[in-house]
Each structure stands twice: as structure tokens, then as C-alpha cells.
Amino acid sequence: MDVTSPKRLYLCIDQGGHASRAIVFNQIGDVINQADAPLSATHTAEGFIEYDPPSMMQSLRQVIKETLLTLGEQRKHLCAAGLATQRSNVTCWDTYSGMALAPIISWQDRRAAKWLEQFSNEAERIHQTSGLFLSPHYGASKLHWCRENLADVTKAHKEKRLRYGPMASYLIHQLVKQRPNMTDMVNASRTQLMDIKKLDWSTSLTKTFGIDKQCLPEIKPCYFDYGNLNETDDIPLRVVTGDQAAAMYAYGKIQPTTAYINIGTGAFLSRPSGQIRTIGRRLLTSIIHHQKDASEFVLEATVNGAGSALDWFAQKYKVDGLIGKLPDWLNDTTLDKAWFLNGIAGLGAPYWIADFPTRFEGSELIEAQAVAIIESIVFLLQGNLDEMKKFASPPEQIQITGGLARLDGLCQRLADLSGLDVYRPVEGEATARGLAYLLAGSPVHWPEEKPGDWFEPRKNLPLKKDNDYWTLLMLSTMRKN
């Protein structure tokens, strides 16, 4: 590896909800090659959402190996690697053998929702300390559940060989030769156990949730020397972060006047606040990068039911090829009207209701209901944009990335409802590209290969009326439940 070479390359590993990917970028953001392996979570009868740790590790090793093989002679120019993961996933493992002692529990899993209710009187303290709302989507309650319900975890804890924490810390332990017990600040923050001001594990939060602080990994900056990746000619792992955090850097320096949306399994709306930790009443305060003594924060909102809502719909109503059919349905102005009360994986910001009843109102046509799901995502995003205006000046534009951003009908509705220009880059899979930018040292020049698409707002009174009616339906349902 020649770190000073103008031909230097970066290996970006993206462990996402539906696949593991490895993409190699050069120093100006061009994709050199890539590999991906599909990966699915298991949805159990009890409502648990889990990944099998060996299967996930196999998928990651597979894509790394395939990418390196196809690089050929260019492999010598690889100078660093980065890892981005789903932020709120957690697991447990044996510190000596490295063997997983629990499944990898998805951020969408809500198995500990009832247990968390006992802390409702402390919700504001927890929010002020962690930046997060009391929610079963974050890691603390799931780690407690594992220790109380899984015999292997309980035994390992008694024998002082238990390690648990963000999924990222387990992947680092597995992928790095030195087997470190570390995690980055972004993933640590999503356990709901990190103090967002001190950027370290919170003694008060670990005590509240019954978590043994000694079993948690060390928290390190996102840009840090984590060790060398196995089977990669000692390529150093230099950046570890969360998928949504990395995605914000995909097209260079973050712009304070832009609202960023990354939309895949869930939809994540972020508004940069620089080094200011703004605590919004119904919003998250999230760290998105830390390097040396510099941190960057955002106000963040989550819409849990995005791609996951479409997956639910396709399975429930046996709709084959749903994504391919959506563009025509979204353009069909003759469809009867339907509204979707979107409680898939729980209702996130700005409502924060773990168990919200999901249902349709209006037309029973499959086409109309599919459109209603897309519109529910837009309506939830708009509600959060409105909430953010209470704590920051209104944004001047929106940048949207992720798989569902490919839908013109979604982007145009978002522009119409928000009254803002919406920019969609050509390269929609932003996570790996953001990793490359951070690995390359945040270069001033980080060009897009091709310009993306702009969606200018149009007058759309029917959509605004639909949003108003949908909001009334949501509020009415909340009052009844």
C-alpha cells in the first residue's frame, strides 16, 4: 500500500438492512468496482426481527473477498477501509472465542417495549442525556433483554467473558486481526447509553437500564486506527460510523441550509447543527462524525415505515414486483383515494408511539393503497420538517438519497408539499460514497460524476388537503389508543 500515491483507493464496507456491500472508490469519488450479497432479517412469530450473525459475517467476508479479487493489480493502491452499519442493531458475544451468544437484533425490533414503560417518568432525563427518546428501537432495552432471557448470555456474564453493544463493535471484533473491543461514537450513541454531551458511556443511563458498563466496548472517534482487516494485505480500518451518518457526506461538505433525507428500510431526515447539540422537544439529537476534537451533530427525525412498509404490504397482499409497479401507480391521477396510517415498526418522530395501529382508510384497491403508503412517508417527513422549524431556520432545499428516492412520484410529492426544491443525486446509494469521502480526508473537491435531478415544487392543493385529512386521522387514532 502506498498512502502517498495519487492512485490511492478506499475500500468501503456497507452493512445494510437488505445486503452487505463492498465498494472501492478512488480519491475523487469514482467507483472502481463493487460486490454485494443479499441478506434478510428473520421476522419471528413473536414479532422479533433478527439477523443470524454467522450469515452476516459470511456475507461481509464474501463481498470483501470478491472486491479484492476483481481489483487485480490495483489492489496495491488500497490504503484504507471504512465500515458503515445499521446504527441501532445490537448483539452479544464471547470476548475470548468471538462466538456470537445472541442473534443480531434489528433496530426495528420492539421486543422490550413493555419493559421500557416503567421508565416513562424518566423519559425527559433520558432524552436530555442521550439525545434519544425512550424507545424500544434503541439498543439498551434489547441488551437488557438478552441478559435476562438468553442462557448463554447470562452464563457468559457470570463468567466475565460477555461482551455486548452495537452491532458495529461485534463486526469490528470479527473483521479486524487485533480483535479489538471498540465502537465508534455514532453507533455507541444509538444504544441510548451514551451521554451526548460527554461522548462517553453514561453511568446514570447504564444503571437505569441495568447494563454492565464493563461489558461495553470502548468508544472511539469515527476516524481512528481500529486495526487491520483480516485477509486484506493489512489494510487499516480507519473509519467506522452509522449508515445514515455516512450518507450525509456522500456529496461532500455538509451544507447547513440543506435538509438531508436518506430513505430505505426507514426514512431518516437530518438537519445539520454543526458542533451545537440542539435538543428538540420531539426530535433526536444525533452525532454524525467525530474526528480528533471535532464533532458534528444534526437534529434528526425517523420514519420507521418506509421500505419496510412496502415489504409488509407486498407480503400481506402478495403483490409481486411492487417497486416496479409503483412509478405508474404514482402517476395515475384516476385512482380512488386511500390513506395509510403508517405504524409499521412503530411510529417514530414526531409522535413516538411504539405500538401504533396500522390501517388503511378509503379505497381498497391495491394500487390506491400502495400509493397511500408512499404518501404516508411524505406526510410524516413533512410533519418532521415542520417540527424542525421550531429549532432552526427553514431549509432552502432538500437532498434525497436511498433506494426509494428513485421514485419520481415520491420526490415530486415531497417538493409539492414542502414547497422546497428537492435534489436527487444520480448515485442514490449514498452510504458507501460518504464513507469514501471521510476516508479520503474530506477533500474540498468531491465531484459528482453526473448532475442529478431537481424536483421543483408545484401547486398541489389536493395533496395538501390529503395531508390535512391524514393528519386528522392520525390524531384521532392516537386519542382512541
**Terminal CA-CA length for the chain:** 60
Q: Residue type for 480, please?
A: K
Which residue ranges form the domains of the chain, and what is each CATH number? 9-244 (3.30.420.40), 252-424+451-481 (3.30.420.40)
Per-residue pLDDT of the chain (481 residues; tens, 9 = 90+): 444 455 899 999 999 988 999 999 999 999 999 999 999 999 987 889 999 999 999 999 999 999 999 998 999 999 999 999 999 999 999 999 999 999 999 999 999 999 999 999 999 999 999 999 999 999 999 999 999 999 999 999 999 999 999 999 999 999 999 999 999 999 999 999 999 999 999 999 999 999 999 999 999 999 999 999 997 888 999 999 999 999 999 999 999 999 999 999 999 999 998 887 878 889 999 999 999 878 999 999 999 999 999 999 999 999 999 999 999 999 999 999 999 999 998 999 999 998 899 999 999 999 999 999 999 999 999 999 999 999 888 999 999 999 999 999 999 999 999 999 999 999 867 899 999 999 999 999 898 878 999 999 999 999 999 999 999 999 999 998 7
Bridge partners for 399 per DSSP: 260, 423
Return the ∠ at Cα 478 (arms to 316 and 106), rounded to 5°.
Answer: 50
* Cβ–Cβ < 8 Å for 319, 366: yes
Region of 362 (left: φ > 0; alpha: ψ -120 to 50; beta: rest) is: left
Which pLDDT score is estimated for 2?
44
* Cβ–Cβ < 8 Å for 190, 138: yes
Return the ∠ at Cα 426 (arms to 16 and 40), rounded to 5°.
Answer: 20
Beta-carbon contacts of residue 90 (< 8 Å; ≥ 6 apart) = 104, 105, 139, 142, 143, 146, 164, 165, 166, 167, 191
Alpha-carbon distance of 412 to 455, in angstroms, equals: 6
166: enclosing H helix or E strand: strand 162-166
Alpha-carbon distance of 174 to 169, in angstroms, equals: 9
Please give the order of strands across the beta sheet that includes 90-94.
42-43, 49-51, 104-105, 90-94, 162-166
* Cβ–Cβ < 8 Å for 3, 79: yes
Return the ∠ at Cα 258 (arms to 268 and 275), rounded to 5°.
Answer: 85
* Cβ–Cβ < 8 Å for 112, 143: no
Which pLDDT score is estimated for 4?
44
Alpha-carbon distance of 30 to 33, in angstroms, equals: 9
Return the SS3 of 124: helix
Which pLDDT score is estimated for 3?
43
Alpha-carbon distance of 114 to 60, in angstroms, equals: 34
Please give the C-alpha separations between residue 109 and each of 43, 130, 136, in angstroms, as whole numbers. 9, 20, 7
Return the SS3 of 106: coil
197: enclosing H helix or E strand: none
Q: Where are the alpha helices (DSSP H) in 131-252?
A: 139-149, 151-158, 167-175, 185-189, 203-208, 243-247
* Cβ–Cβ < 8 Å for 79, 179: no
Complete DSSP assignment for 372-427: HHHHHHHHHHHHHHHHHTTTSPPPSEEEEESGGGG-HHHHHHHHHHHTSEEEE-S-
Return the ∠ at Cα 28 (arms to 398 and 436), rounded to 5°.
Answer: 70
Alpha-carbon distance of 472 to 365, in angstroms, equals: 22
